[in-house]
Amino acid sequence: MNNNIVIAAIGAILLSLPFVGVDSYPLHLIIVILIWSFAYTGWSIMGRFGLVSLGHGAFMAIGGYVTALLWNNVGLTPWIGIPIAMALSGVVAVIIGYPCFRFRIVGHYFALVTLALSEVVRQVIIATRDTTGGSLGYTPERHGEGWSILAIQSDDRVAFYYIALAVWAVGIVIWKAVDRSMARYALEAIWEDEDASAAVGVRVTHEKLKVTVLSAVMTAFAGAMYCQYQMFISPDTIGGVGISLQIVFAVVVGGIYNALGPTVGAVITLLLAEVLRIGIGTENICITDKICLNAAGVPLLIYGVMLVMFIIFLPKGIVGGVLDRWRGPAQTGPSKQP
């Protein structure tokens, strides 16, 4: 089958969704999935090279909070605020990344250092609660009614759908671009053997830093978009260890070595959470007077079991696993697992 036809067909379906009678609620879900997919794609750009960051919650939070704070306090439009947030996030990535790569902090040490970053940002948000609202969350001020191009705010889901779709598509394009670039070969070589790569002239720190900054900037953008769409952020919905882990896991579920893996991961994990939430509800189910079960925890519980199963039985994720069945294991990624 011709790939271009498939892409065109999928594109046409996605573009026409709002006109074929998709309700407001499913559309909302799709928008959320698209925004998260973009963040997950951003993570996997570095994660696929063994750079497992548990600090992306920090970049997400920087994206959302900096944009919203600039808008509310300085009146700076997100058109400028978002680039500032992204730049700041890039700077933070360099501050953390440079020494890490320079001093060869890799594997789970890298994961734990970046995890500290998630916590630092979360605690800073909580500590500055007078400005940021702390753990109760923060809302960008509404600018007028309906559409505000200045504030990138809208009541109109259809419009936001197209924005999110474009953002998501750009994410896939970036992923593909990295996949085709020379940097990919350099990074795969570094992952296989850092010393040998350095010996043949690969600039290890430089290459790792480039991909980390790109990944951080994308994630910050996702955080800002999330904030503009949901009009509410809190340290626990876009930051901290919880979100950092959520990002990693969605990618692991979807598949790390394929452009659409993170998207598939987002669809599966977010839909599952939603289906469980609606299906089971959040009411208490009381078996006896004393023993009540709180259904709100069920999605989390199932999510956890699913992740463990995936890592044990399908470490290449759904897309990777399916492709393996289809065309033999050799082509979906390096032999090493992240």
Partner 1 sequence: MAEFTDALFSIFFVETLINGLLLGGVLALLSLGLNLVFGVVDVVWICYAEIIMLGMYTIYFLHVDAGIPVIIAAGCGIAVTTILGLLVHRIVIHYLLDAAPINQLLATGGLLFFLQGSAMVAFGIEFRNLGVSLGSLIVSEDIYLSWTRILCFVLAAGSVGVLYVFLSRSYLGAAIRAISQDREIMPLMGVDTKKLYLLTSAIGGALAGLAAALLALQYDVHPFIGLSFGPITFMICVMGGLGNMVGGFLAAFIFSELITIGGYFADLEWGYVLAFVVFIATMFVRPEGLFARKS
If one asks whether residue 103 binds partner 1 (CB under 8 A), the answer comes out as yes
Cβ atoms of 223 and 60 within 8 Å: the answer is: yes
SS3 sequence of 159-202: HHHHHHHHHHHHHHHHHHHHHHCHHHHHHHHHHHCHHHHHHCCC
Q: Which of 177, 286, 301, 327 binds partner 1 (CB under 8 A)?
A: 301
Cβ atoms of 27 and 35 within 8 Å: the answer is: no
If one asks whether residue 292 binds partner 1 (CB under 8 A), the answer comes out as yes
Q: CA 227 → CA 137, 198, 323, distances in Å?
A: 11, 41, 35
Q: In the complex with partner 1, which residue's Cβ is closer, 132 or 258?
A: 132
If one asks whether residue 314 binds partner 1 (CB under 8 A), the answer comes out as no
If one asks whether residue 293 binds partner 1 (CB under 8 A), the answer comes out as yes
Minimum distance of partner 1 from residue 171's CB (angstroms) = 22
If one asks whether residue 198 binds partner 1 (CB under 8 A), the answer comes out as no
Nearest to 144 by CA among 154, 135, 136: 154
Cβ atoms of 165 and 14 within 8 Å: the answer is: yes
Minimum distance of partner 1 from residue 329's CB (angstroms) = 16
Distance CA 92, CA 255 (A): 27
If one asks whether residue 304 binds partner 1 (CB under 8 A), the answer comes out as yes
Minimum distance of partner 1 from residue 27's CB (angstroms) = 28
Q: In the complex with partner 1, which residue's Cβ is closer, 181 or 282?
A: 282
Distance CA 31, CA 42 (A): 17
If one asks whether residue 119 binds partner 1 (CB under 8 A), the answer comes out as yes
Which part of the chain contacts partner 1 (CB under 8 A), choosing from 11-19, 61-69, 94-102, 205-213?
94-102
If one asks whether residue 107 binds partner 1 (CB under 8 A), the answer comes out as yes
If one asks whether residue 334 binds partner 1 (CB under 8 A), the answer comes out as no
Q: Dump strand ranges (E) for the chain.
A: 284-286, 292-294
Which part of the chain contacts partner 1 (CB under 8 A), choosing from 61-69, 175-183, 213-221, 289-297?
289-297
The gap from C-alpha 6 to its chain's centroid, in whole angstroms, comes to 26
DSSP helix/strand/coil, 255: coil
Q: In the complex with partner 1, which residue's Cβ is closer, 57 or 64?
A: 57
Chain residues binding partner 1 by CB under 8 A are 50, 52, 96, 99-100, 103-105, 107-109, 111-113, 115-120, 123-124, 126-127, 240-242, 245, 248-249, 252, 284, 292-308, 310-312, 315, 336-338
